[in-house]
Amino acid sequence: MTEFFNQVSRRKFIVTAGISTSAVLLKGCLVNPPETGNTGRKSSIEPVANIKPEQKPETTKAKLGYIPIVESAPLIIAQEKGFFAKYGMTEVELSKQASWGSARDNLEIGSQGGGIDGGQWQMPMPHLITEGLITKGNKPIPMYVLAQLVTHGNGIAIANKHLGKGISLKLDTAKPLLSQLKSANTPFTAAFTFPHVNQDLWLRYWLSASGIDPDTDVKLLTVPAAQTVANMKTGTMDAFSTGDPWPFRLVNDKIGFMAALTAEIWKNHPEEYFAMRGDWVDQNPKATKALLKGIMEAQQWLDKFENRQEAAEILAVKKYFGLSSPQVLANPYQGKYDMGDGRKIDDKSMAAYYWKDEKGSVSYPYQSHDLWFITENVRWGFLPKDYITNGAAKAKELIKKVNREDIWQEAAKELGIAATDIPSSKSRGVETFFDGIKFDPEKPEEYLKSLKIKKAGI
């Protein structure tokens, strides 16, 4: 293990004398539960009347953006079950974002300007925003990654007109179809909801693993989720990469089928993250940890399978996901996927996890995963290769700035999380993909060299 991933918390975020478990405090001094959210649900959690003075948040307010897919569940559950309020964040406002582009724009404005302070992000959006690569006028806006929200829960949907043509996790038998579409000037067209991040990267990994060049053999483009579904219905869109409940909806409405779950592409993969504006965190370090504690508690609650029917009912309401029935979420939440092509998955290990999975912590933001997302951005020419050459010094410098796993660690300790649930390394180690390719975070340049299809000249 190199020094980069092994070093202990480089910054002491805030002095946390007399760390205690909040659970102890909870037993006494209870006041009436607050009304949370606008759904009229009463919180089942009572707020702590006497939060330790040194942990009292600087503000009770935060405005968090989310996109209505399973990734946002920890934020919504923390709000609806009163976990934010429990740690003193009694005025959290959740703001549904129309698209990832508007989330980015709202973050730029900040809550003072009517935007947001942070929330749910695809990766590596916080890094790209910090670098000023996707902001207006290329203005750098420092962001901090504070927790991973979820693993799994995403997939690649294909329009029904392609049923039975070999489009699956592996695409070997579908190659003639793709070449035929390309020569007819109607290339296989696949959509994602924001460029250069998770959904784009899952599509690219999936295609290139079967020898299909995503930049020349097919057409990839950014399309809002609702429009993609409409386009799939009318036959102008061939594929769509996104999170639940969209895949299940497409299958349910007989618009499409699932070629692959992201859980099949990379078991226990990093998915979306909780990140905030850096200036908000710097001004509100205790409130940041209070938010994190609320999210961590929501993640633990969500991982209990007996809570998942209730979770689906909370998320399904109009204000949040607006689903016709909670079952659209409840089935995938139990690891039950009707793939729509005759394949049925019934395996709890394929379900979304929020707190822990087979590989350990889901919530902890491993810096080795940030490095994979940045490496893939270099692979496809979205970032210059000097991020990864020279021992990835430039990527590591950026990750050190953006990934604040130290704050996660402090919040976890204040929450009384068992030491066994707090990772001791910033790297999860070598990762293996469905095609046998391995990513060793110690050697990202070698990973790029090993890949046949790429844009980067490495």
Residues that bind Ca ion (CB under 5 A): 154, 198, 243
Closest contact distance (angstroms) between CB of 271 and Ca ion is: 5
SS3 122: coil
Closest contact distance (angstroms) between CB of 362 and Ca ion is: 14
Q: How many CB atoms lie within 10 A of CB 192?
A: 27
- Least Cα distance to 206 among 434, 452, 14, 436 occurs for 434
Q: Which residue is nearest to Ca ion (CB)?
A: 243
- Least Cα distance to 235 among 186, 176, 165 occurs for 186
3-state helix, strand, coil in the chain (%, to 5): 40, 15, 40
Looking at beta carbons only, is 243 or 278 nearer to Ca ion?
A: 243
Closest contact distance (angstroms) between CB of 150 and Ca ion is: 8
Closest contact distance (angstroms) between CB of 122 and Ca ion is: 6
Taking the C-alpha atoms of residue 98 and residue 95, their distance in angstroms, rounded to an integer, is 10
Buried b (16+ CB within 10 A) or exposed e, 432-445: eebeebebebbbbb
Looking at beta carbons only, is 280 or 382 nearer to Ca ion?
A: 382
Looking at beta carbons only, is 189 or 198 nearer to Ca ion?
A: 198
User: What is the torsional sign of CA 400, 1, 423, 410?
Assistant: negative
Closest contact distance (angstroms) between CB of 242 and Ca ion is: 6
Looking at beta carbons only, is 79 or 154 nearer to Ca ion?
A: 154
Closest contact distance (angstroms) between CB of 57 and Ca ion is: 29
Class of residue 448 by CB neighbours under 10 A (exposed 0-12, middle 13-18, buried 19+): buried
Q: How many CB atoms lie within 10 A of CB 329?
A: 28
Looking at beta carbons only, is 120 or 288 nearer to Ca ion?
A: 120
Closest contact distance (angstroms) between CB of 1 and Ca ion is: 29
Looking at beta carbons only, is 154 or 409 nearer to Ca ion?
A: 154
User: Which pair of structure tokens corresponds to residue 319?
Assistant: 């204000």
Looking at beta carbons only, is 217 or 272 nearer to Ca ion?
A: 272
